[in-house]
Structure 1
Amino acid sequence: MVTGATTTVEIDTTLFITVSGPPGCGATTLCEQLSDAMGCPYVSGGDIFRELAEDRDMSLNQLTAEAESSDEIDRALDQRLQQIAEKWGMANKPFILESRLAGWLAGDRADLRIWLDAPEDVRLERIEDRVETEAEMRVREVSEAGRYESYYEIDIGDRTFYDLHINTARWSKQGVFQIVRTALEEYDADVDEGAFSTPEMNP
């Protein structure tokens, strides 16, 4: 899914940003705020996964189970996200890519890689009104971590290459946005001494 809008609160930037984190971390909220402020689109891996489930008339749990038995679904999703990252990485235009593997998939094409998180009890409370249950969320997190390691030999817990790592339980939604906004507005390529290198991924 690609969404985008404009608002009176603007951020003047051409940065390509990735946002990642576990369910309930606040990634969707931040992406919507950034998309509005930057006047740019964003792509959500979660929305694409849900669209795959709907296209196949399956629940998220059912699609997750199918993904565990075959790498076709995960690889197709990740290849699509990587192609999007390659396209926008060369565009010199603002863009936001959101998924658990967005930072890995975009690699060094991304200008700023963000990891959001929050204590599990906070995240569970945030998702209690969603279709996905607490048990389903936990199953999906464990399942995805195992598949990422099996398919790509990556540790989703490795966050060393992220530029910002924010515990979203410590600030309001607006507070988290302001932290990221400040990072974007204060970014100066002329004084940038270098990002951590991202391990190469081949979906």
Structure 2
Amino acid sequence: MSTGDPSTTEIDTTLFITVSGPPGCGATTLCERLADAIGCPYVSGGDIFREIAEERDMNLNQLTAQAEASDEIDRALDQRLQQIAEKWGMANKPFILESRLAGWLAGERADLRIWLDAPENVRLDRIEDRIETEAEMRVREVSEAGRYNSYYEIDIDDREFYDLHINTARWSKGAVFELVRTGLEEYDPDIDEGAFSAPDVHL
């Protein structure tokens, strides 16, 4: 779990929020600021992936290689994320879940599903300080998309059930946060005419 900037404007909400997007989309930055502003915990798929690596006494590269070779790692990760979603979906307390599949795994339990994206060149610039090359990022995205489809029949490009879809290259980090903050503060369940149905994912 992570926290963000203590100076962030407070947000009064009890919503369970999912944040998803490809590498370099700005999900971590947004989640940290939201978690701090709301005063709630957030869990990311990256956190759980690191937990699994530690439990198996493996580094991240080793676990990634194993995930490429077998579905066992992906399924273990996704099952943990879905269990977390089930727990918080019944809690009536604010919570943020972040991963590529968070919106899918949380399904109808989530109150608000967010997809972040940015043009590939922008995302590549953002991950320059990470140990990942342009080719590796592209291969990983294609590989993950194939695995999601193979394991769960999930088309990661199907985003119609997301409530907010933001191109984070068009605004500053602070402005992206403000866009989402406004959405949360202006949300009124009494006038909500219904979210798009989220497909069921059977792990």
Q: Please report the TM-score for the alignment, with normalisation by the length of structure 1.
A: 0.94
Whole-angstrom distance in 1 between the partners of 2:59 and 2:196:
39
Q: Does 1:91 align with 2:103?
A: no
Whole-angstrom distance in 2 between the partners of 1:22 and 1:90:
28
Whole-angstrom distance in 2 between the partners of 1:171 and 1:162:
19
What is residue 168 of structure 1 aligned with on the other side? 168
Q: Give the match's secondary structure for 1:33.
A: helix
Residues 23 and 30 of structure 1: is their aligned pair in 2 closer, same or farther, counting only changes over 3 Å? same
Q: How far off is 1:47 after superposition?
A: 2.2
Runs (5+) with no aligned partner, structure 2:
none
Pairing 1:1-203 to 2, within 5 Å after superposition:
2-4=1-3, 7=7, 9-54=9-54, 55-60=56-61, 62-203=62-203
> Residue type of the partner of 1:17?
I
Q: Which moved more, 1:40-49 or 1:4-13?
A: 4-13
8 Å CA contact 1:64–1:140 kept in 2: the answer is no
Q: Which moved more, 1:94-103 or 1:3-12?
A: 3-12
Percentage of pairs with the same residue:
81
> Number of aligned pairs?
201
8 Å CA contact 2:103–2:162 kept in 1: the answer is yes
Residues 8 and 141 of structure 1: is their aligned pair in 2 closer, same or farther, counting only changes over 3 Å? closer
Q: How far off is 1:202 after superposition?
A: 1.3
Q: How far off is 1:8 after superposition?
A: 5.9
Q: How far off is 1:112 after superposition?
A: 0.2
Q: Which moved more, 1:154-163 or 1:46-55?
A: 46-55
Structure 1 residues 93-149: Cα deviation after superposition (integer angstroms, max 9, x where no partner): 000000000000000000000000000000000000112222221121111100000
8 Å CA contact 2:8–2:33 kept in 1: the answer is no
Whole-angstrom distance in 1 between the partners of 2:132 and 2:180:
28
Q: How far off is 1:70 after superposition?
A: 1.3
Structure 1 residues 145-176: Cα deviation after superposition (integer angstroms, max 9, x where no partner): 00000000110010010000000000000000
> Residue type of the partner of 2:86?
E
8 Å CA contact 2:3–2:33 kept in 1: the answer is no
Q: How far off is 1:52 after superposition?
A: 3.0
Structure 1 residues 22-63: Cα deviation after superposition (integer angstroms, max 9, x where no partner): 000000000000001000000000222234345443343x43
Runs (5+) with no aligned partner, structure 1:
none
Q: How far off is 1:7 after superposition?
A: 4.9
Please provide the CA RMSD for this pair.
1.4
Q: How far off is 1:4 after superposition?
A: 3.8
Whole-angstrom distance in 1 between the partners of 2:23 and 2:125:
11
